[in-house]
Every structure is written in C-alpha cells, then in structure tokens.
Structure 1
Amino acid sequence: MPRRLLRHRRLTPVLAAAALLIGALVAAPANAAPQTPSAGAAVDLYAAELSPDHVKLLNRFGLDREDVRFSTSAEKGSVHVEAVMSAAQAAALNRQGLGLTVKKLGGKDARQRAKAAAAPKVFRPYSGPGNIREELLNVAAANASIAKAVDIGKSVKGQPITAVRLTKDVNSTRQHGRPVVVYQAAQHAREWITPEMVRRLLHHYVDGYGKNAEITKIVDTTELWFVPVVNVDGYDLTFQDGFRLWRKNVRDNDGDGQITGQDGVDLNRNFPYRWGYDNEGSSSLRTSQTYRGTAPGSEPETQAQIGLYKKVRPAYLVNYHSAAELLLHGVGWQALTRSPDDAIHDALLGDIDHPAVPGYTPELGAQLYTTNGDTDGQADNVYGALSITPEMATCESAARSDPDDEWEPGDCASGFEFPDDETLIQKEFQKNIPFAFSVAKSARTPDEPVSAVGRTAPDFETDAFTTSYGTSQEVASVIRRSLRHKELRYRINGGRERGADVREWQGGERFGDENDTYYAEYRGKIRQRPGDKVEVWFTGQKGRKRVESKHFTYTVRDQQKADVLIIADEDYTGVNPTYPPGTNKPRYAQQYADLVKAARHKPLVWDIDKDGVPHDLGVLKHFDAVVWYLGDNRLTQDAADDPIKTYLGDQPDSQVADRAKDLLLSVRSYLNEGGKLLHTGETAGYYGPVSRLNGGGIYYGLKGHPERPCVVTSNFRDDCELLSDDFFQYYLGAYDRQRVGAPTAFTGTQAPFDDVTSKLQGPASNPLNEAGGFQVTSTVLPKADFPQFTSWKAGDYTGAAAPTEPVEGQWYVAGPHQDGLYRRLTRTIDLSSVTAAQAPALQAQLSYSTETGFDNIILEAHTAGAEDWTTLPEKNGLSKTTVPEQCEQGYLLDMHPFLGHYLTRGNPCGNTGSSGQWNAITGNSNGWVPVAYDLSAYAGKKVEVSISYVSDPGSGGTGLFIDDTKVTTSGGQPDAEGFETGLGAWTVQGAPAGSPGNGAEYTRSQAQIDSVSSVATRDTVLLGFGIEQAADQRTLMIRALRHLID
C-alpha cells in the first residue's frame, strides 16, 4: 500500500510557517492591479568569451543553469558563454569584468527580432479571444460527458488558471473515485513548447475517445487533469515586446507599478517543501531568475497548484519544462541522492540508451542542478505523487531534427525559443506521447508501472556489502510497500536459515525519509561473531506468491574494541602521484594509529587500496568516529582518468575513479546517521581546474555511462557525471577552496584548536606546497538563516596566504579584473644618493590570474619629469618580451594608445615602442609570488614607477593583487610598504590619456575571502593539510577527537 503521508514527523519551522501562510493567503484576493511592462527592463540573451575564473563567478551568481550554455571559443583558453538574464544582472557581472553583451542574430537583439518577425503562427497567448484559455473552455463544452473546465485558482493579476478535468461521466463521477494523473506546463513563462505539449495531449485524448481502445480505456478508468499554463500572467507577458525570455511570474516585487528585472518569483522554487534550504537551489535575490519569493507558498499560482494536488492526490504528476531533453525525477535539493521511489522511475523512464522519450536522458533531479522549494518535492512528499519533470527539446535540437526543412541551429538565439513551426512542434509532441500514455496506464498500479521501454520495477533493491564488524549488524533493502510479511532472512556459516523482523527506516539527520510513497527502506538486525560468514536476503508475500531479493554475503571482522576507524586513502595503486614499484601498503597508517592511541582511543585501519570502499552500515556505523586521511594522495585516479579530453584541450586533475565518489557518498551517509569525521589532507576538497567551468565539482565518468572516461564535447556542466563540491560545502563547512601554497605554521583560532600552534613543513617525501585554504560556509550562508550549515573557522595559516587574501599583514591592494582597464599603482623613488653598484631594486609580492597573453602586468618606469617611458623586466624571469595576443590586429593599441611607448603597430606587432621596450607578466601565478625589478639604470635620479594592469576588451581572470612592496639596495631596505595603515608613498592613478577610463580602480583592502586552514562543525573537523605534515601532530589529533566524541 502507498505510504500514509500524514505521518510526517519533522515539520520544520519553515514548513510550519508555510502551512499558516498558505492558509492565510488562500482566502486573500490576488493582486489584480495591472502592472505595466517596463521598456528595456526585460531579460535578454547575453554572450561573452569567458576565462575559467569568470565562468566560476557566473556559476556562483545564481542564474538557473538552464539559462547558461557553453560552447567553444575563438579565444584560446576561453569558453563562449550565452546566458539569459536581465540588464541589471548583466551590469552586475560586468562590474566584475565579464564583458557580457546582448547577443544579436542578423544584427538584432531579442526585442528587435520579435518586432521584425511575423506574428506567431502556432504559439498563442493564454488569454484573449482565440487563445489557449478560450480553447480549453470550448473543448470542455464540446465534450461535456468526459471533459470539464475547472479554474484551480487565480494568478497575481487575478486571471483564472484554467484546467480541464477529463474522465468518463465527468459530471457525475465523485472526486477520488479514480486514480489521477496531472499534466501541467508553463510554470516558466518562456517555455512555449510546453503548453503545446499539454494542449495537444488533451486533444489527443478527446479526439481518440470512443475511437481508440487504448485511449478510451484510460479515460474510462482514470482521471486526467490538463493544466497547459500555470504561469498565465508571465506566459502572456512573453508575447509582449521585449519579454520573450521572461521566466518568472509577474509579482511586482518593488511595488513600482512596472515589470522590471527586479520583479517576478520563480514558481518552481516557491513551494514550502525545502523552501530556501540553501542559496544554490534557489535565490533570495529578487533579480535572480530563481528568486524563491518572500515566503514559502507566497504566490497565488503556487497556492493554486497546492490546492489542486491536495484535492485530487495525483498518482502521477508530469510537470513539463524546457529546454534540456531530460526526464528528471527524485531528490532535487541534494546531489547524488537516490530515494526509494526511484525504483519506479527507473522502470518507467529507462536509461540514456533506452529512454522513455527518444533523445531524452533520465536522471535524478539534482543531476541537472540542485533545486529547493520545487514542485516535485512538494507533490511527492506532501501529497504522495510520483512526479516527473520532462525537460523538452531545445531550439537547436528541434532545428537539427529535419535536415530538409528551413530551420538551422544557427537560427536559434536561445535554446528556449522553439521554432514556430507546426511540423517541428507536432514532431516533438508525438515523440512524447508514448511516455505520456505510459504514465496514465500506470496510474491504477503506480508501483507496477507500465513502461514505454518495457521495464518492470523490482520488489527489492538490497544494500549489499562484503565486510562487517561488531556483534550486531544492521542490513537494509528498499522494498515495495505493498508486499506483505516482509522479513529479513539469513544464514551464518552455511547453517540453517533464520529470520528476523524488519522495520521501516525513519531517515537520518538530513536525508532518507522522503520520496518513499510506494517503496521504503526497511532494516533488520543480525547477531554475529568475528569470523562469521553471513548470507543475507529479504522476502515478502506478493499476492499468493512468496518473493525474495538477491542474496549477498559478508564476512565479519574482529573490531578489536576499536572506536575510531582510520581510513587510509593514500591511493598507492593510483597514478596521482604514481608510487614507487612494489608499494603495497599505506605509508602513514601506523603513524595515524599511534596518534589516535595518544588521544586515548582505540584505532583500526581501513586500507582503501586493499579493502575497497567501506560501507556506511557494514563498516563505518560501527565506529564512534572516522579519521579520513589522504597522505601523499593528490586525487584518486587510475590511468584512464587523467587527463580528460575537452574542446579546450586535455585537462588534468579533472576526473576521479569511482572509488573516490563511492567513498565520499559512504562517508556522507555515515554523517547523516550521527557519525563524526576528521578529514585531513593537503588536497582535501580539491576538485581540479575544470571545477571553475562545471559549476563546482570533479567528474567521475561520461554522462549516462560513468564506467567510460569523461569527454567534454560541448558542455562542461552536462557532458559528464559530476561529483559536486556540495559535500564539502554543506557537511564539512568549506564553501570554497583556494590553494595557499607552502605555509610555515598552523594557528588555532576557535574550538577545537583554540590556542594551538604548530609548525608545518611535511615529510621529505611530501613537503607541504599546495595546502588548502577554505572559505567557511557560514560566512556565505549565515548561521541565523541557515542553521543546518553552522560552521566556523578553527585555524589559520602563517607564512603563506591564499591568492585573494593579504600575504603580509591584514591589508593589500586589490585589483579585480574588468575589461578595458589600464590601472596604475604609482610612486616616485628617490635614488639621488644611490649608485648603480648598490643595486637598487623594487620588490613586491603579487598574486594574479590574467587571461594569458591578452591581459598583462607591466612595471612602467620613467625618469621623474622625463618622457623616457619603458617597462622593466622582472629579475626572476616571470616577465617576457612577447607582445600581447592579437597585438597585430590593433584593437589593443586603439583602446590604450599609451602602450605605443612600448609596442609598435604592424603585422607582426613590435615589442619596442616610441620610448621603451615591452616586458610583461601574464597568466596565473597560482598564489603569491615574489617579484623584483632592477632600478640601477636610474641611480642618481628620481624614478617614477607604476605597477600596472592592462586588460583588453575581452574576458579575463581574477585580476591582480599587490602586497609587501619594498625598495632595496645592497646596503639595506630604504623603505617598505605593506599597506597596513595606508598606501604610503604609493598613489592610485587613473588610466593614461586615450584609454577609456577604469570602471574601478585599485583599492586598499582587507581579504576579499578569508581562506582558513581548518573548518569545524558540530560533527566534523577539516584540515587543509595532512596531520603528518604538522610538527605537533599529537595535539591536533587529541583536540579533534575530543571535539568529536569525548
């Protein structure tokens, strides 16, 4: 039988408030005052060539990931990005240097294209004569015995949201008499193909009733609801000038009477279930396309949907969206989280090779991107539905589908603008019919779906493992709820068959008790002894037939009274690094075991290379705490994992072996059930360089085929399976990681390491040279708003700093990238009494990330009062005389004519100019590096120098940061300036004459991001180095374990 949904135990404060709010709002009149669309305020499609650093900024900006598309770029090292956003959002990103411009086709932007195009031939608005709502009313009137028009609620502007209820004897059939399927569309206004799907499906059923036996049987035995347009106001708005790509409803957030980029709520983020869980799955910013609203269920359109689901309790909900060609199901708020009812979805939807809709990819909701406050979570977990979100075809794939028609992919401005072509629309509809029918045919027996791809749902999905500890072992299986007499069966050492009761698992601290209407996880316990070999399976009664699961066998090891498990994750069988031939055991395991003993606990070592991944129930749950260390392991990789192939060329450190993904998920499950973790390692939380491009994570295989190596042919986000950084962000409290380099010491700041100091260096075999610095999650998601992610800075580094924080003291000069800059930090150095023999020099420390070749750092110098301008070479060899990329095209010199002092126009472009030579630093410093410039040519004079950052009109990296400047001679250090109390002798100058001027200048600043050496939560401690690399290893282990379990 299906789960009784009213038994939910944990009504969170957000859900409780939502329930009250919805009750209050349902009776309130909708905001019927008509808002005026504001000219020039609509969303549009923007494009740019972006560096990986800027892609990371874009990924963190809060755009819906469907709004962003990637392709190859003509600029080396960059990707071409197109993103749907408002002008205000584009301006905000451009202030960070992204250089986004409105994409034009044939010289026209979206508004101009809409004006130039003929009126839509197929697509129509919702309201008004001859449009969709009128059509729904007419269909119901013409088929009154089976169809009834029902207004399920009203919109923000007071428009009725009309549905059609379709079933035999519709006017006399009582509610809940037949199983229900809801087909709905257009929660997002711009997705025009989706109302056509639902509208045409309604006609297909109505026209076939009484003529087609399959359709007639469905209508006679099932109640079907069709809601072609949920977001009726927003959908109508997309037919107005300049609003074709509008997504949200038309809530006037700022109350100015106009619809602008500040307005609208995402109706697929406004539901109470998990509303506002984090700022990645939805946004608190009104300008965001995923803005979740002021409160859960705040929007009348959301209330209308909730009212419908509550009334009809659908067996299935099909919520059509576009454009990505996916079949989404299951958990959306957390990545890589299967739930019990996925057994049904797997059967109904198929897989990438045999999907229920040809060309679509079935996957968990969060594999597209995480969402919270979404429709599926609400419908599944509050009203017992089985929800599927088909993401329908993109414009490009539709245009590509018929090589003989007039449409070409290049005609598509964005993926959402499906061609206004009857043939292509009907073709997309027709390929979706078998799946739509399969859902209707499955409604009477939801847990026994009638699959369009011929699959069946299993009775059991056992959670098998091979190794156990302790005298009692909990075992689990997902089991069909409708089975009677569920039981655990087992044999010990080949002996007699035994039985034990099973109970439904109630879930853990964060997940496990959801999406379990028709299936659930059941657990039983087995008494055992070390050395036992246990065979396990589950049974149940299905009708008159006894059914059983697959069997699995595990062996019981002696736990030896250990309470702390040490996971030796050294990956000595892997390739990063490659270990010496003959290495067959972990190097540091005994050292860690001794440290645990020193903390008065009993350790046991688990060697990943020899033992495999420890199972959360079979192994981890038997221990009070886990110490997971990396040793020399940079990334867990086999030879096939590195490098990956991409359209930007081969990328290292970008894919891990399956065991890395499986270990992370096992540890996450252990924490979810009350486990405690110390995680330590120099590359803990390191996700490789491509994490800046893929939204934050590292790959573990090809999309749909994780057993194959990742290959990125078109999209860094979607082409491969992604192990996201969510575990470190939301469980370990590390929102982001930067490479700090080679710090010399650790300093504790708060519990558990307050007052602890320790030198850092590392063993000779693995010196500390890429230590991790973490941004604490609670500094991004404040504890007051997100208590579930409470985390704090437990330690810091000395002797080194992350690229975006001061390397000396607390202040530095920051210069984040923008396009078209010519920034100068300038001072005069008096060398009047200094001789060349005294070797005067300017020294500093720089941290920089620039678009290699295009954006450059130069040290400009000239005799004070003279025009002998030149650039000086960096003494350590960091600078080159190579001219900027595409210098021969002239646009850089046009933008910054002052560079003519150092460069000469032409093809080729020359590296000398009217007064001096070209010497420049470009690329990525990967942290702070010392620089030095010889000033002996100016001995006996005064010289004016400028540390200058020059960028071209295109994209760039993070920018340039400056600290610890000093003038030195062989006789000492005449002066130094680290910017702790001001700029000292330095001044910030504007761009030279002829340049366009700087949108933002250098600023004296404290750390833009505080990168810490250790982060702690209630259940975890994370270190950005290996404990084996610290001098006071004993104190670090004692304090960590005391915090976790003492």
Structure 2
Amino acid sequence: MLKSRRKAVTVAAAACLALLAPAGVSAAQQAPPGAASDEEAIYTVPHTDSGSRTEIHRTGAEVLAVSGDTATVQATRAQAEQLRAKGLRLDERTTVAEALAKRNGATKGSARDFPPGDAQYHNYDEMNAELDGIVKNHPDIAAKSSIGKSFEGRDIPVLKISRNVQQDENEPEVLFDCNQHAREHLTTEMCLHIAKRFTDGYPNDPTVKDAVDHREIWIIPSVNPDGSSYDIETGQYRGWRKNRQDTGTDLNRNWGYKWGCCGGASNDPNAEDYRGPGAFSAPETSALRDFINSRVVGGKQQIKANIDFHTYSELVLWPFGWTQDPVTDGMSQAEHDRFERVGKEMAGTNGYTPEQSSALYVTDGDILDWEWAQHKILAYTFEMYPKDSGGLDGFYPPGNVIDRETARNDKAVDILLREAGA
C-alpha cells in the first residue's frame, strides 16, 4: 500500500532499480535521494488483538492481513519505531520496493495489462468485454448498464441477472460488488465468476435456475476502475489501494454512516485509509450509494443482502466496524444473532473465519455499516484468498488459482441468495 502518488513513483522506481542494481547493492542504496528515509517495509507483528491492530492503523501504518493473532503490517521506519514504543514487537520481513520487485519479476507486461503469467486476470476493457459477451449470450436473463462514472470518467458497469431482466419485478434483490480497493483484482474475478455461473448455469443447474427465477441479482465487478487500471498501468503491479482522486481516497472509508467518527480512518490525504474530505466525496462511492438508494421502490429497499468482496485473510465479516459492541444503537440482539448465524453458515462452506468486522480492527465510514444502518441490508464483507502470505504478494495471487478460489464461494453465495428471501 502506497501513501501517495509521489510515493507510488518512488516505490516503483526503487523496485525497478532493485532489478537493475549490481549484486550486493540494495534498492535502498540505489533509490532516489530521500527515498530511504521514508521507505516502507513489511513487518510481522505477533500477539495482536482488535485493540492493538486499531492502534497500528492510527499511527498511519496498515494491517495487510491477520492470521490468528499475528498481523502482517506495512509501515514506515518511523511508524515502526512508534509501534515498538507502544510495546509491540515488529519483525521486519522485506521492504515494499523489494516485495513488489520480487512479485513482478524482471519482465513487464503490456501497458495497462497484468504482468506476464497473470493473463487470466481481466483488465478494465476485458472485464467489459466479458460482461458484453454474457449479455449477448443470455439476453433474456442478463442486462448491462452503468451506475455512474469514476473520477477519471470510466463507466462503473453493473450487470443485472433475472428471469425477466427488463422488468422491475417484486422480487428480493441481492448485490455483489467487488474491487473497492484497486489492487484486490481477485475480487473482480469473483464477480465475473458469479455472473458467468448464474447465466451459463441457468438451463441445467437447478440451484442457479431457482435463484434467477426468484431473485434480481446485481453484480458490480469493479467499483474502483481507475485505481485498478492504475495498479497495472505499467505492466507491473504498483500496490495501489485507493481511487485516483488527488492523492487518492479509500473508498471503503468514504461512506456516510459514522464517517470519521471513531479513529477508524485517517484524515491524512497521504494515508492508505484516507477517508476523503467529506462523506461520499469520491464519485465512485457516491455512484454506488445512489444506485443502492435507487432500489428503494414504494418506500421499501429491494436489495435485501450484499457481499462486498475484498482480499485477503479469508474472513466473513458483518457489521458493525465502528464499534466493538455487538449490540448497540442500530443493532439489536436478534439482528446481531442473524448476522452471526448466516455468517457462520457461509463460512462453514468456504473455510473462512467468521467474525464481526471490528474484531479485525475498528473502521468507520465503510459500506457494511452504511448499508445496514441506512437500509437494513444484510451486508457482509468477504476477505478472500489467501489466508496469509506474509506481505504484499497476498494481493496478487497467481492467475492459476482464480477458478478454484472463486468457485470456493459458490455455496456461500447460494446461502445469501436464499437468506434474502427470509
């Protein structure tokens, strides 16, 4: 995760220099003047809990993943020392530049495309072509439109799947959205997998047919097309998380409910979890908000359930993120118990760990909390594969795992579709 556009260039340059440097000369030694002083590194931090992980975020460092009580953290040298002063043990694994250089390898891909070896992933144009192909092959049950424009003017496509797709029927609706965070490309593949499964499988799969006949399914494969495109713009991964608005806004900290309330997002424009200057200041989040609001028909929200896909750590998360209390204002015991019951049932099918969102660390301004507080949508975040990689490479699993790791969530998706009608 890169703290600003300036640092993105610095790290990318350092990564390239690491490939060109003579043996025995480090990227830090070859980096541009001043780069080493704020160079970021990846650390392993054992014996953490929700409270300590929240403290890690509040220094400006970032928890990349959690496995058991061990967190993988990205931090500057100064942030690392600040955390050590708080009594945490940080074991350095690698610098960010070295991690990206190792994952990218020496060969670049084509401009605006994935690195060599990861051709199975869909870039923005390929994603749209895939959606167009689905509509062409299944015009009776699939229709493509746009929820709005990104900061750089790209359409944010949405696919609707339903038996009578051109009609707005009185059926429970379910939303699957992916790629709020730019570098989490596996999530786009997850949404495309759902789209293919519920169209190609319609004639012969009774579970798919029942869902398409009795639900309206909405799929948004990339909420953050600018950031996703920027992450692979050079033909190598950049480690980019945010959108491309100024220094970037973390879209999943820009939602309006409890925005900026509780130390669960940063007000520093250079921070990875920068919440933006105001709630819904990012055009991508405001577009998705407007789409969800538009599904209020006759005074009732038609979207009953949602999965917001992220990577990584293999988790099933439910609201709230802004508080560690399971029962609080806006969440009754019965409501919490339903979230927990369904979350555990889904996790039982894919092997993920189920927990309240704040058990990972406190966040505010995220989509789950807003959807539930505003519309009572049964909303979950799935943190996908891998469970733990030890660093940035967890955001970039090889393309040959896509089929396995997307199909891994089929039964969980079916459970949520069922629960939407409850």
* TM-score normalised by L of structure 1: 0.33
Q: Rate the CA distance shift 1:60–1:382 in 2: closer, same or farther, 3 A.
A: closer
Task: Tell whether 2:319 aligns with 1:330.
Answer: yes
Alignment map for 1:469-618 (pairs within 5 Å): none
**8 Å CA contact 1:333, 1:372 repeated in 2:** yes
> Residues 381 and 71 (structure 1 numbering): CA distance in 2 closer, same or farther, change over 3 Å?
closer
Amino acid at match of 1:380: W
CA displacement at 1:221 relative to structure 2: 1.4
Aligned residue for 1:346? 340
> What corresponds to 2:60 in structure 1?
62
Preserved contact between residue 94 and residue 100 of structure 1 (Cα < 8 Å) = no
2:138 alignment partner, one of 140, 143, 150:
143
TM-aligned CA deviation for residue 197 of structure 1: 1.1
Counterpart-to-counterpart distance in 2, 1:361 and 1:49: 20
Q: What do residues 418-476 of structure 1 show as CA deviations (whole Å, max 9, x unaligned)?
A: 42142x3222222210110111122222xxxxxxxxxxxxxxxxxxxxxxxxxxxxxxx
- Report the Cα offset of residue 361 of structure 1: 1.6
Residue equivalent to 1:379: 371
Amino acid across the alignment from 1:391: E
Q: Output the CA distance in 2 between the equivalents of 1:335 and 1:179.
A: 30
Of Structure 1 and Structure 2, the greater helix share is in 2
Match of 1:190 among 183, 190, 205: 183
Name 2:249's counterpart in structure 1.
Answer: 265
Match of 1:286 in 2: 269
Give distance in 1, aligned partners of 2:323 and 2:69: 27
Cα distance 1:381–1:51, how it changes in 2: closer, same or farther (>3 A)?
closer
What is the aligned partner in structure 2 of residue 124 from structure 1?
A: 121
Alpha-carbon offset, residue 50 of structure 1: 7.5
- Structure 2 residue aligned with 1:389: 381
Residue 84 of structure 1 corresponds to 74
Q: Cα distance 1:94–1:121, how it changes in 2: closer, same or farther (>3 A)? A: closer
How many Å separate the matches in 2 of 1:52 and 1:184? Answer: 33
Q: Is the 8 A contact 1:357 1:434 kept in 2?
A: yes
Q: Do the aligned partners of residues 50 and 385 (structure 1) sit closer, same or farther apart at CA in structure 2, a change above 3 Å counting?
A: closer
Q: Is the 8 A contact 1:126 1:229 kept in 2?
A: no
**Contact 1:46-1:101 within 8 A present in 2 as well:** yes
Q: Summarize the Cα distance change of 1:163–1:120 in structure 2 as closer, same or farther, 3 Å threshold.
A: farther
1:97 CA displacement = 9.1
Distance change (3 Å), C-alpha of 1:50 and 1:225? closer
1:336 and 1:367 in contact (8 A); partners too: no
| Residue number in structure 2 paired with 1:170 | 165
8 Å CA contact 2:312–2:385 kept in 1: the answer is yes
Please tell me whether residue 93 in structure 1 is matched to residue 79 in structure 2: yes
The equivalent of 1:436 in structure 2 is 413
Partner residue of 2:261 out of 277, 283, 289: 277
How far is the alpha carbon of 1:71 from its aligned partner? 9.0
Where structure 1 has 5 or more consecutive residues not aligned to the other structure, the ranges are: 1-34, 73-80, 253-262, 397-408, 446-1046
Aligned counterpart in structure 2 of residue 416 of structure 1, from 375, 385, 394: 394
| Paired residue type of 1:114 | N
Q: Residues 49 and 295 from structure 1, CA distance in 2 versus in 1: closer, same or farther, beyond 3 angstroms?
A: closer
Q: Are residues 362 and 67 of structure 1, via their aligned partners in 2, closer, same or farther at CA, if it must alter by over 3 Å?
A: closer
| 1:355 equivalent in structure 2 | 347
- Equivalent in 358, 362, 375 of residue 370 of structure 1: 362
Query: What is the alpha-carbon distance in structure 1 between the residues aligned to residue 47 and residue 410 of structure 2?
Result: 41
Residue 23 of structure 2 is matched in structure 1 by none
CA deviations on 1:807-857 (whole Å, 9 max, x unpaired) are xxxxxxxxxxxxxxxxxxxxxxxxxxxxxxxxxxxxxxxxxxxxxxxxxxx
Residues 751-772 of structure 1: CA deviation (Å, up to 9, x unaligned): xxxxxxxxxxxxxxxxxxxxxx
Q: SS at 2:160's partner residue?
A: strand
Match of 2:104 in 1: 114
Structure 1 residue 318 and structure 2 residue 307: aligned?
yes
* Matched position secondary structure for 1:382: helix
The CA distance in 2 between the partners of 1:367 and 1:247, in whole Å, is 22
Q: CA deviation at 1:147?
A: 0.6
1:220 matched to 2:213? The reply is: yes
Contact 1:121–1:420, Cα closer than 8 Å, also in 2: yes
1:398-409 alignment, distance < 5 Å: none
Q: Partner residue of 1:237?
A: 230
Separation of aligned partners in 1, 2:286 and 2:67: 32
Does residue 103 (structure 1) correspond to residue 106 (structure 2)? The answer is no
> What is the CA distance between 1:311 and its match in structure 2?
1.5
The answer to whether the 8 A contact 1:68-1:84 is kept is: no
Cα distance, 1:40 vs. partner? 1.6
Q: Residues 187 and 283 of structure 1: is their aligned pair in 2 closer, same or farther, counting only changes over 3 Å?
A: same
SS of the counterpart of 1:66?
strand
**Structure-2 residue corresponding to 1:247:** 241
The CA distance in 1 between the partners of 2:361 and 2:336, in whole Å, is 18
Q: What secondary structure sits across from 1:343 in the alignment?
A: helix
One-letter amino acid matched to 1:182: L
Distance 1:83 1:95, change over 3 A: closer
Please say which of residues 300-309 and 44-53 is displaced more in the overlay. 44-53
Partners of 1:220 and 1:52 in 2: how far apart? 48
Distance 2:40 2:160 in 1: 37
1:93 is displaced (CA, Å) by: 2.4
Determine the C-alpha separation between the residues in 2 that align with 1:278 and 1:192. Answer: 29
> Cα distance, 1:382 vs. partner?
1.2
State the TM-score, normalizing by the size of structure 2: 0.77
Query: What does residue 133 of structure 1 align with?
Result: 128
8 A Cα contact 1:70 1:82, kept in partner: no
AA in 2 matched with 1:311: S
SS at match of 2:273: coil
1:316 Cα offset (Å): 0.3
For 2:373 and 2:394, the matched residues in 1 are separated by: 30
Ranked by relative contact order (alpha carbons within 8 Å, sequence separation 6 or more), the top structure is 2
Aligned length: 365
Is the radius of gyration larger for structure 1 or structure 2? Answer: 1
CA-based RMSD: 3.3
Tell me, what secondary structure is at the counterpart of 2:64? helix
> What's the CA shift for 1:290?
1.2
CA deviation map 1:536-583 (0-9, x unaligned): xxxxxxxxxxxxxxxxxxxxxxxxxxxxxxxxxxxxxxxxxxxxxxxx
CA contact 1:395–1:418 (8 Å) conserved in 2? no
SS in 1 for 2:145: strand
Query: What is the SS of the residue equivalent to 2:249?
Result: coil
Deviation at 1:94, TM superposition (A): 6.1
Give the match's secondary structure for 2:190: helix
Q: Structure 2 vs 1, CA of residues 350 and 115 (structure 1 numbering), >3 Å: closer, same or farther? A: closer
Tell me the amino acid that sits aligned with residue 65 of structure 1.
V
Aligned residue for 2:152?
A: 157
- Structure 1: distance between partners of 2:344 and 2:92: 40
**Taking structure 1 as reference, are residues 181 and 371 closer, same or farther at Cα in structure 2, changes over 3 Å only?**
same
1:45–1:414 CA contact under 8 A, matched in 2: no
**How far did residue 266 of structure 1 move?**
0.8
* Counterpart in the other structure of 1:1027: none
Instruction: Determine what percentage of the aligned residue pairs are the same residue.
Output: 25
What SS is found at the alignment partner of 1:65?
strand
Long gaps (5+) in structure 2: 16-38, 85-89, 108-114, 296-300
Does the 8 Å contact 1:395/1:415 carry over to 2? no
Kindly indicate whether the alpha-carbon contact (under 8 Å) linking 2:150 and 2:284 is maintained by their aligned counterparts in 1: yes
CA contact 1:328–1:365 (8 Å) conserved in 2: yes
Q: CA deviation at 1:298?
A: 0.3
